[in-house]
Structure 1
Amino acid sequence: MAAAGHPGEDAGLYDAVKAVGEELCPQLGLTIPVGKDSMSMKTRWQEGNEQREMTSPLSLVISAFARVEDVRHTLTPQLSTEDNALLLIDLGKGHNALGATALAQVYRQLGDKPADVRDVAQLKGFYDAMQALVAARKLLAWHDRSDGGLLVTLAEMAFAGHCGVQVDIAALGDDHLAALFNEELGGVIQVRAEDRDAVEALLAQYGLADCVHYLGQALAGDRFVITANDQTVFSESRTTLRVWWAETTWQMQRLRDNPQCADQEHEAKANDADPGLNVKLSFDINEDIAAPYIATGARPKVAVLREQGVNSHVEMAAAFHRAGFDAIDVHMSDLLGGRIGLGNFHALVACGGFSYGDVLGAGEGWAKSILFNHRVRDEFETFFHRPQTLALGVCNGCQMMSNLRELIPGSELWPRFVRNHSDRFEARFSLVEVTQSPSLLLQGMVGSQMPIAVSHGEGRVEVRDDAHLAALESKGLVALRYVDNFGKVTETYPANPNGSPNGITAVTTENGRVTIMMPHPERVFRTVANSWHPENWGEDSPWMRIFRNARKQLG
């Protein structure tokens, strides 16, 4: 992006394209498939009698993509506190330039010497070495050195690991400020202490011997300590650092979203006793209760229902298929046009997304397309009254089905789902508890607490009054609740992402055949799809049990 015609910008643009397109990328063996330019990065305006202008600096924005062979071996910054070693791979070779860094910006400076690609061959060797280490399973964690430099890299790794760090930077030179805050190429890797020598030897094979520096280790606890030659350079509580780190985001959230929710989330970061996400299961995650039914060869048909704007139908179909169903893609236009009917289906699932852009209310436009078409309305009502059928509504499908109460037996007490208390769209990985309810899809899972994907802007349960809420509770129709990391039902943000009373996020009918929920079990039925999970999980996550329960119920 450049301000064409501005003094020096055209020449700078040429130099940038030449350096990246003709020199760097060919040496790295990379192609640039497409480019998009913005050549008018200057604005002029009149303020009183004064002519003003603002010119954006020449900027290069790169989006890179590559095939990932196995996502199960993707590295994260999450530190482990087992016997370990932290190694800095410094591709800046000690130059430690501070120009255009976050540190310079804090002091309202720009500087004249920014970080640079010092050695293209070494950068390529670094990539190849990292791939070799991943393949050899030698890495526990990894984080690049970028905005904020080495200090921020280590701090963010400590935040992710909920642990302390003890490092020494004497080998990085006498200028500790430059060593900690330069943003030269490189990164920090964590390895097992017993693998340190082997890792350093492998890095040397790729020409990186002079770039590797042993820093120290991650430790259990809250202390973040940096020393040099037995002198303390920096020492602080990791919890305090995290609160500082989140300060800008918090202030922005207070202006943009519900300030009460922003305050609650910020306060939660200061709680060092918070154990983080955890799992408690009341069933055997490895037991495939659907296997005997799959072995018969029978595959009940499930209608995977979608409308314009729905986007979770593919993973929903995959989950039901894995559980032994014949998953059929059914668009509302198929039903409205009479091309498909529900009479041949044993199960129905309404998927998540944003039907009609939610402009008529979340799921309400979808529901009205059913309620106001007499033939389709009768078809749905017949299905819901038919014995030996099951139905599931997720997210937008949950909102839609909650508006079909007049068609669904035993759903009279169901709530509406309205705008989140946070006044924002929530995309989170939230902890929920399976509660005692008639839901056939959640049988055998009561008491389990496990994280699940949440993705909605209107997921807050709304009841008419306290009596309505009490009746919903007393009938035992609540199937899932949000809980905090201590396992307690909560209305506090962000553990409860939408502010639903009593943490309610799923309800069922009195006979348990129809269950609706705001979270997305279909997005996390495979372990690899979870952004965090215990290391002992196999191919399937606990949420696969919902779909296997469905297969078992249909016999």
Structure 2
Amino acid sequence: MLINAEKGARMCISETIMNLIWAPITDLKDVKMSGNWMWAAKCDGEGARLVDAVGSLCRGLREIGCAIDGGKDSLSMAVTAHGELVKSPGTLVLSAYAPCTNVTKVVNPALTASAESRLLWIKCGGEKNKMRLGGSSLAQVYSQIGDDCPDIEDFSEISKVFSIVQGLLLQDQIVGTINKPMILAGHDISDGGLITAILEMAFAGNVSIGIDIKNPYEEMSSLDLLFAEECGIILEVSCPDDVIKRFRDSNVQCQMIGFASDSYGSNAHVKIHVDGKLEVDEKLVDLREEWELIGDKLGQFQTNTNSLKEAKKVRENCQKITYKCDFDWFYETSFIYHQQYFSTAPRVAIIREEGSNGDREMASAFTLAGFQVFDVTMTDILSGHSLVGYRGAAFVGGFSYADVLGSAKGWAAGVLFNERVSKEFENFRSRSDTFSFGVCNGCQLMAHLGWIGDHDDEEEVRKPTVFLDENECGRFESSFGPVKIERSRSLMLSGMENSILGLWSSHGEGRFTYSSSLNLKNLKSNGQICVRFCDDQGKIGSDYGSQRLPYPWNPNGSVEDVAAICSRNGRHLAMMPHSDRSFLTWQWAESNDVPWNTRFDQQNVALSPWIRMFRNAYNWCKE
């Protein structure tokens, strides 16, 4: 934008489309955008530049066939400070959206390192023989702006690439007995250019790469080729010859540039050649630490220093996560479409409070397991709604009362300090035919209520013995990682023990603590510790002679890596990480890597092993 406002607007369109390309949508013409302008329009010359940029945007959108249906303008982006006029650079932000036809086919940037896969570089939209460095990240590193920046001379070529990729997303090929996607990973070329896109894909996949790029342009340096931010994409494909033919048949530049191999973590290496000349020869972990440097510096302002050190050590040695699942979990789900089924299905109350946000995920999981699901708010219960007719209660995640009193304390107060509501909850808990499940904020609630912990289930007054304190890392943690299911009394986790599965964690106060060390000892001896955080090899802290795993394998610092606890009778389960956000394969961050992902390609629901715990609750109710 600083070099040429018209070119900047066109490049903004192209990058928006190249970010949307990885999700299958109905049609490119269904794409709508929100356009947000930030510009010092009242300053000399800036109003004219803005007019040029808007005109360029409108023409580009007409050519590609998309439309803007909303947005906002901030046109006073200038201030006088100490007698000097300071202007914000003119900026356009486009947010694109369209109906997604199949969320299970969305592609991420993590290289899979499949044996037969290859990496392809597709360049489109710009002039064939140009790789321009103006306005690039490389120029900024050298405190320059440049005088010639990338541009889109042919929007029809971007439309062609979009159409080809969309077709490939929905197409599989048979490798042995397995259906494999044609596109295994993908990344657009934008900030940092071709080399950055390649390296980020290697970082995400934690794999080795061998790259040899043929420089198609005479008298062009390797620097221009690798760091120019011309429009394009990188693909990892399972059938390279077929894919290359499709692009070349459409007269689109496509070059096979290398492969990824399954040397992981500290053993992974990066070699990049240009025209046979070795330009980069480094360990993956060394390059990734350079890439993480800014994040670590920012982290010093919000994260415990020891946690940052632990995370760095983990990055240096992490391998591909080894998931393990020895139990069967798939079953026919078509019954949920038969209305007569619901008249006899057990009922579960999805209980939420002001500020809760996980009710729909929880409702979906229990519905797919066979339950009649009911949305029950605390306002309903305060107004007299009874829990008598329910077999199960699910306390959802979120931030009840914005956690201003501490996590779930406001929610717990609404139960404990209302005599009728407190009795309603206690009657439900003490019935022998009921179960409950609390996740995240719901887990914190169950701890406050004393539904889990080191006490007899028959005690009428149960003082809390389990508490959820602030994460040891000192900040809210949102991450996906492995957990190990222990042998326990929990009815919901029956038959799932010794499995290593992935879960989302999303909390600021998730560190399990206890009123005394004896409490933890009793919980362990009674079989009430149900789930623990583990590392990429399925090991917990005690396997290394430590009280806990390092951050981020253990995201909150719980002693002995505890992630879930149940009541002594096994009917009430409280879990900090979210199985309600992980019961479908496409919800997993590493969904391409799990061994069961291809099993259900032809099924209407791509269930992950976590559905078993919800189905366990259903079977318990029926039996």
Shorter-normalised TM range: over 0.9
The count of residues paired between Structure 1 and Structure 2 equals 542
1:30 aligns with 2:66: yes
C-alpha contact (below 8 Å) 2:505/2:577 kept by paired residues: yes
Measure how far apart 1:5 and its partner are.
1.6
- Match of residue 559 from structure 2: 501
1:267 aligns with 2:329: no
- Once the two structures are superposed, residues 1-45 of structure 1 have per-residue CA deviations (whole angstroms, 9 ceiling, x without a partner) of 111221221111111110002x00011111100021111111223
Of 233, 244, 247 in structure 2, the residue corresponding to residue 200 of structure 1 is: 244
Of 245, 253, 256 in structure 2, the residue corresponding to residue 214 of structure 1 is: 256
SS of match in other structure, 1:270: helix
Of 541, 548, 554 in structure 1, the residue corresponding to residue 615 of structure 2 is: 548
Partners of 1:320 and 1:406 lie apart in 2 by 21
- Match of residue 447 from structure 1: 498
Partners of 2:368 and 2:261 lie apart in 1 by 41
- Once the two structures are superposed, residues 42-96 of structure 1 have per-residue CA deviations (whole angstroms, 9 ceiling, x without a partner) of 12234xxxx2342111111111112211112111222223123221111232311
**Which AA in structure 2 matches 1:108?**
S
**Mapping for residues 60-139 of structure 1, pairs under 5 Å:** 60-79=92-111, 80-91=113-124, 92=126, 93-137=128-172, 138-139=182-183
**Which AA in structure 2 matches 1:269?**
R
SS of match in other structure, 1:403: helix
SS of match in other structure, 2:531: strand
Of 493-502 and 317-326, deviating more is 317-326
Measure how far apart 1:524 and its partner are.
1.3
SS of match in other structure, 1:554: helix
Measure how far apart 1:495 and its partner are.
0.6
C-alpha contact (below 8 Å) 2:531/2:562 kept by paired residues: yes
Of 465-474 and 51-60, deviating more is 465-474
1:188 aligns with 2:264: no
User: Could you list the runs of 5+ residues in structure 1 that have no partner in the other structure?
Assistant: none
Partners of 2:222 and 2:429 lie apart in 1 by 69
1:325 aligns with 2:371: yes
1:510 aligns with 2:568: yes
Measure how far apart 1:277 and its partner are.
2.6
Measure how far apart 1:288 and its partner are.
7.0
Measure how far apart 1:535 and its partner are.
4.5
Partners of 1:240 and 1:176 lie apart in 2 by 22
**Which AA in structure 2 matches 1:396?**
N
C-alpha contact (below 8 Å) 2:465/2:515 kept by paired residues: no
Partners of 1:267 and 1:82 lie apart in 2 by 29
TM-score, normalising length from structure 2?
0.83
**Which AA in structure 1 matches 2:67?**
T
- Match of residue 424 from structure 1: 475
- Once the two structures are superposed, residues 327-378 of structure 1 have per-residue CA deviations (whole angstroms, 9 ceiling, x without a partner) of 111110011011x101111111111111100011101100100111111111
> Residues 535 and 67 from structure 1, CA distance in 2 versus in 1: closer, same or farther, beyond 3 angstroms?
farther
- Match of residue 329 from structure 2: 285
- Match of residue 446 from structure 2: 401
User: Could you list the runs of 5+ residues in structure 2 that have no partner in the other structure?
Assistant: 1-37, 173-181, 542-547, 601-605
SS of match in other structure, 1:506: strand
Of 242, 247, 260 in structure 1, the residue corresponding to residue 293 of structure 2 is: 247
- Match of residue 351 from structure 2: 305
**Which AA in structure 2 matches 1:165?**
I
Measure how far apart 1:460 and its partner are.
1.0
Partners of 2:294 and 2:500 lie apart in 1 by 32
C-alpha contact (below 8 Å) 1:169/1:176 kept by paired residues: no
> Residues 116 and 405 from structure 1, CA distance in 2 versus in 1: closer, same or farther, beyond 3 angstroms?
same
Partners of 1:295 and 1:329 lie apart in 2 by 19
Measure how far apart 1:287 and its partner are.
5.5
1:536 aligns with 2:596: yes
Measure how far apart 1:299 and its partner are.
0.5
Of 158-167 and 24-33, deviating more is 158-167
Partners of 1:289 and 1:181 lie apart in 2 by 50
1:168 aligns with 2:228: no
- Once the two structures are superposed, residues 482-526 of structure 1 have per-residue CA deviations (whole angstroms, 9 ceiling, x without a partner) of 111121114310011111111111111110111111111111111
Measure how far apart 1:163 and its partner are.
1.9
- Match of residue 49 from structure 2: 12
SS of match in other structure, 2:187: strand
Measure how far apart 1:478 and its partner are.
0.9
Partners of 1:302 and 1:115 lie apart in 2 by 57
C-alpha contact (below 8 Å) 2:133/2:227 kept by paired residues: yes
- Match of residue 149 from structure 1: 193
Of 294-303 and 215-224, deviating more is 294-303
C-alpha contact (below 8 Å) 2:323/2:500 kept by paired residues: yes
> Residues 152 and 295 from structure 1, CA distance in 2 versus in 1: closer, same or farther, beyond 3 angstroms?
same
Of 410-419 and 4-13, deviating more is 410-419
- Match of residue 414 from structure 2: 369
| Aligned CA-pair RMSD | 2.2
Of 572, 576, 582 in structure 2, the residue corresponding to residue 524 of structure 1 is: 582
**Which AA in structure 2 matches 1:105?**
Q
SS of match in other structure, 2:298: helix
- Once the two structures are superposed, residues 298-336 of structure 1 have per-residue CA deviations (whole angstroms, 9 ceiling, x without a partner) of 201111101111111111111111111111111100110
Of 36, 40, 44 in structure 2, the residue corresponding to residue 3 of structure 1 is: 40
TM-score, normalising length from structure 1?
0.93
**Which AA in structure 1 matches 2:98?**
A
1:471 aligns with 2:522: yes
